[in-house]
């Protein structure tokens, strides 16, 4: 079948125009100024070990098939991977592996003619998703594992400020600071729950084994534990000014910094305070829990210090910092990432520490980071830097620092892990 016959065939029954009008309207006509004869609207996204390729539906008679071409890795040639009969508009690839880049394009065919290739789309599947709260644009956003695809944006809200993910439920809790609303968003961006009676949230974290949400309200002197539906299980008022929290997930306890006394407190799942640090800290800003080390790492202004679960210092300590404000632990590798804010006008530092608290490397690339989270699959660290107007991905060895998306003020970033 020659090209002319192909274009006549796929236009039958669609438009009662002249031949020249059919050429203009037919999306697979190379003379079509919009499509150039190619399939359009091609996009790709992944959910763990599954990649979905989508494109704009073609309601054309005489269409034999849509052909999906695939390439694995950065090199090599594309191969015809799947021939879909009729006017298909999507394809699900279940033969993918984590960490490899898969590239796709699609064509349409009728008889002996095949249209030119569509644009090429690429994706790297993996067991994580990333959530971002952008205080400037007003969106909560969920990204694919490779950070290249926005799965949805939810908003526009008044200053999205905090995030806490619940991997078992494939959901996240997000707090809008200026409207004092907590949203629970599912994996498709639906707000299943909205809590309007819990405001002034300082920090929030999920017990990933129970799916409970812990919240601190510093000015109210309140610590709350909510169930997965947003109902209050316990409330604790014994801590004067609770701020940052970390979950001791296998015992379902919550560790909290008290900004008033500068002590650490441990609140068990029933709301009882059973442990207090043996000594006050200097000016604690953030903390993170290590299950393998059975310890807490604390960003304490001019130092990073480790405490055991009895609230006593372990002797592991890094001094000489200016203002350590953020900290997160990589359970898989036993390393810890720290943000050290420097004097005004100097860039903030991101430090990576080994299990003994020694610096592996440091980077001076950031303005005013407000959140970090480690991707334990690849060992990278995500840095929400609203001061610099960027979300950054820092590779495990620090050799790559890549800007992600078009975020303006990413105040919170959280990685949702599956099957690590």
**Which CATH number is 378's domain given?**
2.130.10.10
Residues 104 and 141 in one domain: no
Residue 313 three-state SS: strand
Q: What is the pLDDT of residue 95?
A: 96
> What's the rounded Cα separation, in Å, for the pair 76 and 180?
52
Torsional sign, CA 291, 293, 295, 301: negative
Q: Which helix (H) or strand (E) holds 72?
A: strand 65-72
**End residue of a domain, out of 123, 139, 169:** 123
**End residue of a domain, out of 90, 123, 156:** 123
Residues 227 and 341 in one domain: yes
Domain count, the chain: 2
Residues 6+ apart with CB under 8 A from 389: 367, 407, 408, 409
Domain that holds residue 367: 128-417
Residues 51 and 151 in one domain: no
Q: What is the pLDDT of residue 14?
A: 39
Residues 6+ apart with CB under 8 A from 351: 337, 338, 339, 340, 359, 361, 362
Cα–Cα distance list, 36 to 24, 27, 29 (Å): 10, 8, 7
Residues 96 and 132 in one domain: no
Residues 263 and 411 in one domain: yes
Q: What is the pLDDT of residue 15?
A: 36
CB atoms within 10 A of CB 333: 15
Positions in the chain whose pLDDT score sits under 50: 1, 4-25
Residues 55 and 140 in one domain: no
Whether a cis peptide bond, with omega within 30° of 0, leads into 156 is: yes
Cα–Cα distance list, 253 to 146, 206, 286, 329, 345 (Å): 32, 11, 17, 17, 39
Residues 52 and 182 in one domain: no
Residue 21 three-state SS: helix
Q: What is the pLDDT of residue 287?
A: 98
Cβ pair 117, 28 in contact under 8 A: no
105-132 core/surface letters (b: 16 or more CB in 10 A; e: else): bbbbbbeebebeebeebebbbbbbbbbb
Q: What is the pLDDT of residue 344?
A: 84
Give the CATH number of the domain where residue 75 resides.
2.60.40.10
**End residue of a domain, out of 123, 149, 169:** 123
> What's the rounded Cα separation, in Å, for the pair 95 and 97?
7
Q: What is the dihedral of CA 142, 145, 150, 154, to 10 degrees?
A: 0
Residues 195 and 258 in one domain: yes
Q: Which helix (H) or strand (E) holds 20?
A: helix 19-25
Residues 221 and 250 in one domain: yes
26 by Cβ neighbours in 10 Å (0-12 / 13-18 / 19+) ranks as buried
Residues 158 and 91 in one domain: no
Residues 134 and 203 in one domain: yes
Residues 403 and 256 in one domain: yes
Q: Tokens representing 43? A: 């996009």
Cβ pair 324, 302 in contact under 8 A: yes
Q: What is the pTM of this model?
A: 0.88
């Amino acid at each position: 079948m020659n090209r002319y016959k192909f274009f006549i065939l796929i236009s039958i029954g669609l438009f009662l125009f002249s031949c020249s009008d059919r050429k203009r309207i037919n999306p697979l006509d190379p003379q079509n100024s919009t499509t150039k004869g190619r399939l359009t609207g091609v996009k790709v996204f992944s959910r763990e070990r599954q990649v979905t390729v989508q494109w704009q539906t073609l309601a054309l008679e005489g269409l034999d098939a849509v052909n999906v071409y695939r390439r694995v890795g950065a090199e090599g040639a594309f191969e015809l991977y799947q021939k879909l009969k009729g006017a298909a508009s999507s394809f699900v690839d279940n033969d993918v592996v984590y960490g490899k880049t898969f590239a796709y394009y699609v064509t349409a065919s009728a008889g002996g003619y095949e249209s030119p290739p569509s644009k090429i789309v690429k994706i790297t599947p993996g067991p994580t998703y990333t959530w971002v709260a952008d205080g400037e644009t007003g969106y909560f956003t969920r990204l694919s594992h490779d950070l290249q695809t926005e799965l949805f944006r939810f908003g526009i809200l008044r200053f999205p400020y905090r995030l806490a993910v619940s991997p078992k439920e494939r959901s996240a809790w997000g707090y809008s600071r200026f409207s004092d609303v907590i949203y629970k968003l599912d994996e498709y961006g639906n707000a299943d729950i909205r809590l309007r009676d819990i405001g002034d949230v300082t920090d929030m974290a999920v017990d990933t084994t129970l799916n409970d949400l812990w919240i601190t309200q510093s000015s109210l002197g309140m610590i709350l534990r909510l169930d997965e539906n947003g109902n209050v299980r316990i409330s604790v008022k014994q801590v004067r000014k609770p701020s940052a929290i970390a979950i001791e997930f296998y015992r379902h306890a919550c560790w909290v910094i008290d900004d008033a006394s500068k002590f650490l407190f441990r609140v068990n799942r029933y709301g009882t305070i059973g442990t207090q640090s043996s000594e006050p800290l200097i000016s604690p800003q953030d903390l993170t829990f290590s299950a393998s080390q059975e310890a807490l790492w604390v960003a304490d202004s001019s130092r990073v210090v480790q405490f055991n679960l009895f609230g006593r210092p372990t002797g592991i300590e890094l001094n000489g910092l200016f203002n350590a404000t953020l900290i997160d632990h990589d359970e898989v590798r036993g390393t810890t990432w720290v943000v050290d804010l420097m004097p005004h006008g100097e860039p903030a530092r991101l430090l990576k520490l080994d299990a003994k608290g020694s610096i592996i490397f440091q980077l001076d690339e950031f303005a005013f980071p407000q959140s970090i989270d480690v991707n334990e699959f690849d060992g990278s660290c995500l840095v929400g830097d609203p001061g610099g107007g960027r979300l950054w991905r820092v590779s495990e060895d620090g050799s790559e620092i890549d800007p992600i998306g078009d975020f303006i003020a990413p105040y919170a970033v959280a990685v949702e892990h599956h099957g690590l």
